[in-house]
Chains A and B, each alone.
Chain A
């Protein structure tokens, strides 16, 4: 069950989106997210949508995968929509029953919010699906490198992220195993009461933490054995070189961004 989670997974491939410089990809994703939330009208939102669909087509990642990742977030989406519909009371009234008022603005805002969140998720997934975790953390390390002057431990931060991403599946599988082991000893995970559920977590979390600390210690020793000493004298196998493709893509992103901004201001 826990293995189904696809967030943060990488699908190797070889096409324009995969080959883009990860630093550029991160900046473009940020611009895209701002683009999505800029302006209030559908005109400005449509720029983000078109941009995202274009990137999606170029990446050749099956749309089905995104559906799978969005599914667990459905309750949040529905909640957001309901809150928008209940609390936005302006605009043409379609239907009224006591306090509840279904208005044009309410429905409109709800739809926009859902579209925005869905595209926000698709956009950020596209980044992690097409960029290997190492590339991603390397890119973050490089983008944040000016902070080194302020003595911010940029390298350690990036290494921590690398290790965290590496151990997500390992710890997931381990959690499954511990749950199975505790069930075999008669622990009940089936009660629907919140209190019982919280209680049942204790015998899962404690062994999980103990094992995680043990893993951390062994990993630290193994890293030392492989001559790790922070970023002192360290090189990278995959160097990042921005090419024409990256610059053109970023330029297109900027053009879209400013077009969306202009539309947002004008309308």
Chain B
């Protein structure tokens, strides 16, 4: 597998226009590789630096020291910045503040239009992107007529119409109701499966992270865990030390352990948890 995103000894703090330091270290010497076609969740509570990391990966921010490489291109090189952004799409928390146009299909066309693609090709890409997120029937609607989940799917369509090979989602479900959340998460998984997109999902919902292939836990600008969800979530004490929860099924097994019933903490979803508990009685 080739490497999509590389961070090398990345350090970052916010500065004003004159370069004066405005914040403490937001990211401290982070090194990280994300493989092409993988599904990575980044966990961390507010202020852990996870959103800043996301913005460094598509060149909205550039590192103070260290390097970020996207498909081998350095993001601090101004000449290549649009090349970087074309490859790494970004979806934000508030769907309302990412939609530019007053008609769904016009908004999805915004990205490809910026890339200077021919009108015919844009039409094809817009229709395909809307079909991929199951919003084709709404192509002539105004964004204000849609629910939060639907708007977020339009925002995702707007990114995939640019045909990126990686998509970074910064807490895309934080403002949605449970139904919208499910809908958006299913769409993201589908895009990963069907189109082989690299997905970096930043979230603070444990259940969303549990479905990823790899979980990176951040705290205070540092990576404190980087492993498969099975391994990360079976260390609830580490997670709780940095103010994070574990998925409910893991928590149940952990509490059983604490109260003297020895069960292996190996389940991160409901099915595995049920199996483990049933095994207790057989």
Contacts and interface: CB of A to CB of B under 8 A. Distances in A.
A229 B114 contact: yes
B100 A163 contact: yes
Interface string B238-259: 0000000000000000000000
A170 B111 contact: no
Given A221-B60, A225-B58, A235 B119 contact: yes
A169 B151 CA distance: 14
B41 interface: no
B102 A235 contact: no
What size tier do the contact residues of chain B reach?
A: 35 or more
Contacts of B94: 215, 218
Contacts, number: 105
Interface string B91-105: 010101111111101
Nearest to A216: B97
A151 interface: no
Interface residues of A, number: 32
B265 interface: no
Contact of A10 (B89, B116, B142): B142
Nearest to A159: B100
B159 interface: yes
Nearest to B98: A222
Interface string A232-267: 011111110000000000000000000000000000
A219 B119 contact: no
A226 B117 CA distance: 13
A199 B103 CA distance: 36
Given A12-B140, A169-B144, A237-B119, A227 B85 contact: yes
Contact of B85 (A166, A169, A226): A226
Contacts of B126: 237
A165 B144 CA distance: 11
A245 B147 CA distance: 38
A132 B85 contact: no
Contact of A227 (B86, B92, B99, B106): B86
Q: Taking chain B's interface residues, is the majority helix, strand, or loop, or is none over half, making it mixed?
A: helix
Contact of B119 (A133, A221, A228, A239): A239
B215 interface: no
A237 B144 CA distance: 22
Contact of A170 (B82, B85, B96, B122): B96
Contacts of A218: 92, 94, 97-98
A162 B102 contact: yes
Contacts of A12: 140
Given A10-B102, A237-B119, A238-B119, A225 B109 contact: no
Interface of B: 58, 60, 82, 85-86, 89-90, 92, 94, 96-103, 105-106, 109-119, 122-123, 126, 140, 142-144, 155, 158-159, 162
17 contacts: A9-B142, A132-B102, A133-B101, A169-B144, A173-B144, A219-B98, A222-B155, A224-B85, A225-B90, A226-B111, A227-B82, A228-B110, A237-B106, A237-B109, A237-B112, A237-B113, A238-B119
